[in-house]
Amino acid sequence: MAREVGHFIGGEHVPGRSGRTSDIYQPMTGEVIGRLALASRAEMRAAIENAAKAQVTWAATNPQRRARVMMRFLDLVAREMDSLADLLAREHGKTIPDAKGDIQRGVEVVEFACGIPHLQKGEYTEGAGPGIDIYSMRQPLGVVAGITPFNFPAMIPMWKFAPAIACGNAFILKPSERDPGVPMRLAELMIEAGLPAGILNVVNGDKEAVDAILDDDIIQAVGFVGSSDIAQYVYARATATGKRAQCFGGAKNHMIIMPDADMDQAVDALMGAGFGSAGERCMAVSVAVPVGEKTADALMSKLIPRVESLKIGPSTDPSADYGPLVTKAALERVRNYVEIGVNEGAKLAVDGRAFKMQGYENGFYMGGCLFDHVTPEMRIYKEEIFGPVLSVVRAKDYAEALRLPNEHEYGNGVAIFTRDGDAARDFAAKVQVGMVGINVPIPVPLAYYTFGGWKRSGFGDLNQHGPDAVRFYTKTKTVTQRWPSGVKEGAQFSMPVMQ
Ligand code: NAD
């Protein structure tokens, strides 16, 4: 029986009242396992107003106490790791070990947020002038919101709500409609950890709920992660009403393989980064760029048998390399891209479209696909496919290889595989991409650095997590003070300056 999923508002589960719902699928079997309530504007507004009331007391709670809630939450997530990973895998389709990685990379940002008493400290200058001291404070914004994608239903909600809440804000999370189970469970665990009701709310919905957030006059900041067209739309609409916004979008991540690279290491890296999570990662490598024909031929001869022997399985099979795609629509979309690539003249070296998972015939599975001789004019190169499809673009030299990511409209992640320190250093300096790996295929920075892409992969000024998150979720107030015993100057009519 499909379960009904409503919202989590004011510390409790609330059924939806809009009358609109969407189905939640279990990708490994293709079954509908739940029905999700889609919030109306009025339901969203009520949740935001409730959060605003709760936020006043939370902002006045000392930062150590706020940090302790995060610490207790970490214990609870560790306690629930297996059940969270199982729920995540069932709704998303990724394998259980991969689901644990999704949770763990979110947990690391919660660990970072435990340092909020230190991170949120202001600055102080004693004696900036005669009897004058200056200090700054980082104050929370109020009520802020996060709108998150399907592909990391644990990690990205935690990236958003943990720093925001630690800074003293109340949070409205609008997770993806595809896999809302884990975000709802995380909100329950935050309450169990001691978070006051109303500080973390999960309001489920679609465009109507998102637009209600973007137009709301209480919401002060919006953090978005998803596809680029929606990221750009959210950025424009949120900032039009004076909100802070950071909106992260899609990607086409290149991996350059130099002639001197360790080929076995490069092939292992491409397999994991290209096909892990069925390619449904914003940091997945979707373009391999071997430099020189000899490198390309050597790469293809090693890649083809590896892609042909990928082990695809249900999410509950711990030995599977990857599981099904998230929905039937996603599967059809990816298959369609393969068809486009064939029609554009790319050479389909491995065709995984016909793959069927025995015993799971209605699941959304797809075999690995490998294209050779892809060129920059092709749609399969320009557009994000978001599936288990790797394209090989042959570059004649390093300069051409560097030009490819630099001229691409996306700029999320990139990697170079080489033993040459000079080439690696030059690449890191010149490449127009936000996150760079040197012999590292998925360079997702750790929690205490920031994460963010360039060009159409990121709209806004500050990155997610790390020190930027504290800047994004606080506003700085600077106080200049002088006490009556300070120097008395009489009325000053010219602009005050320090002598
Ligand atoms: P999506 O853009 O379809 O959805 C993201 C969020 O936007 C969801 O909460 C969804 O409900 C909402 N949304 C969808 N359509 C909307 C509309 N018309 N108006 C307002 N809101 C709308 O993305 P997705 O398919 O869930 O996630 C995959 C995408 O996310 C990929 O493009 C991937 O590269 C990207 N992504 C980027 C990063 C990053 O940090 N750059 C991380 C993860 C995923």
User: Tokens representing 232?
Assistant: 């750009």
Rounded to the nearest angstrom, the distance between the alpha carbon of 462 and the centre of ligand 1 is: 19
Taking each continuous run of H as one helix and of E as one strand, the counts in the chain are 15, 23
Rounded to the nearest angstrom, the distance between the alpha carbon of 227 and the centre of ligand 1 is: 4
Q: Which residues, 6 or more positions from 358, have their beta carbon under 8 angstroms from its beta carbon? A: none
Burial 339-374 (b: 16+ CB within 10 A, else e): eebbeeebebbbbbeeeebeebeebbbbbbbbbbbb
Position 487 scores a pLDDT of: 65
Position 488 scores a pLDDT of: 67
- CB-ligand 1 contact for 291 (6 Å cutoff): no
Alpha-carbon gap, residue 132 to 362, rounded angstroms: 72
Alpha-carbon gap, residue 265 to 269, rounded angstroms: 6
Position 275 scores a pLDDT of: 98
Q: For the chain, report the end-to-end CA distance as a whole number of angstroms.
A: 77
DSSP 193: T
The strand pair at 410-411 and 454-455 is best described as antiparallel
User: Is there a contact between 383 and 224 (Cβ–Cβ < 8 Å)?
Assistant: no
Alpha-carbon gap, residue 52 to 142, rounded angstroms: 7
Alpha-carbon gap, residue 370 to 302, rounded angstroms: 12
Q: Is 384 helix (H, G, I), strand (E, B) or coil?
A: coil
User: Is there a contact between 283 and 413 (Cβ–Cβ < 8 Å)?
Assistant: yes
Alpha-carbon gap, residue 7 to 12, rounded angstroms: 8
Question: Which stretches of 93-205 are DSSP H helices?
Answer: 96-113, 116-119, 155-166, 181-192
What is the CB neighbour count within 10 angstroms for residue 121? 13
- Any bridge partners for residue 230, and if so which? none
Measure Cα distances from 195 to 71, 258, 440 in Å. Answer: 11, 51, 38
Question: What strands lie across the sheet with 132-140, from one edge to the other?
Answer: 124-129, 132-140, 474-482
Measure Cα distances from 218 to 8, 46, 197 in Å. Answer: 19, 11, 18
The single residue listed with the structure tokens 């994608």 is: 149
Mutate to test the pocket of ligand 1, among 206, 253, 385 (most ligand atoms within 8 A of CB): 206
Respond yes or no: is residue 282 known to be catalytic.
yes
User: Tokens representing 454?
Assistant: 């360039």
Alpha-carbon gap, residue 261 to 400, rounded angstroms: 17
- CB-ligand 1 contact for 395 (6 Å cutoff): no
- CB-ligand 1 contact for 153 (6 Å cutoff): no
User: Which sequence spans correspond to the domains of the chain?
Assistant: 3-249+457-478, 253-438
- CB-ligand 1 contact for 251 (6 Å cutoff): yes
User: Is there a contact between 287 and 381 (Cβ–Cβ < 8 Å)?
Assistant: yes
Q: Is 75 helix (H, G, I), strand (E, B) or coil?
A: helix
Q: Which residues, 6 or more positions from 455, have their beta carbon under 8 angstroms from its beta carbon? A: 408, 409, 410, 411, 432
What CATH number does the domain located at 253-438 have? 3.40.309.10
Rounded to the nearest angstrom, the distance between the alpha carbon of 296 and the centre of ligand 1 is: 34
The single residue listed with the structure tokens 């560790």 is: 78
What is the CB neighbour count within 10 angstroms for residue 95? 26
Ramachandran class of 124: left when φ > 0, alpha when ψ lies in -120 to 50, beta otherwise: beta
Question: What strands lie across the sheet with 31-37, from one edge to the other?
Answer: 3-5, 31-37, 21-26
- What's the residue count for the chain? 499
Rounded to the nearest angstrom, the distance between the alpha carbon of 164 and the centre of ligand 1 is: 20
- Mean pLDDT for the chain overall: 97
User: Is there a contact between 161 and 189 (Cβ–Cβ < 8 Å)?
Assistant: no
User: Tokens representing 498?
Assistant: 């320090």
Residue closest by Cα to atom 19 of ligand 1: 207
Query: Residue 469: in which H helix or E strand, if any?
Result: helix 467-472
pLDDT in tens, 441-482: 999 999 999 999 999 999 999 999 999 999 999 999 999 999
User: Is there a contact between 139 and 120 (Cβ–Cβ < 8 Å)?
Assistant: no
Alpha-carbon gap, residue 494 to 159, rounded angstroms: 48
Question: What strands lie across the sheet with 413-417, from one edge to the other?
Answer: 347-350, 369-372, 389-392, 285-290, 253-257, 413-417, 435-438
Q: Which atom of ligand 1 is nearest to the CA of 176?
A: 9
Name residues of the chain where pLDDT drops below 50.
Answer: none
* Annotated active-site residue in 114, 247, 282, 369: 282
Q: Is 231 helix (H, G, I), strand (E, B) or coil?
A: helix
- CB-ligand 1 contact for 210 (6 Å cutoff): yes
Rounded to the nearest angstrom, the distance between the alpha carbon of 207 and the centre of ligand 1 is: 11
Q: Which residues, 6 or more positions from 463, have their beta carbon under 8 angstroms from its beta carbon? A: 246, 434, 450, 451, 452, 469
Q: Which atom of ligand 1 is nearest to the CA of 206?
A: 11
User: Tokens representing 426?
Assistant: 């030059």
Closest C-alpha among 367, 404, 408, 372 to residue 387? 367
Position 486 scores a pLDDT of: 60
What CATH number does the domain located at 3-249+457-478 have? 3.40.605.10
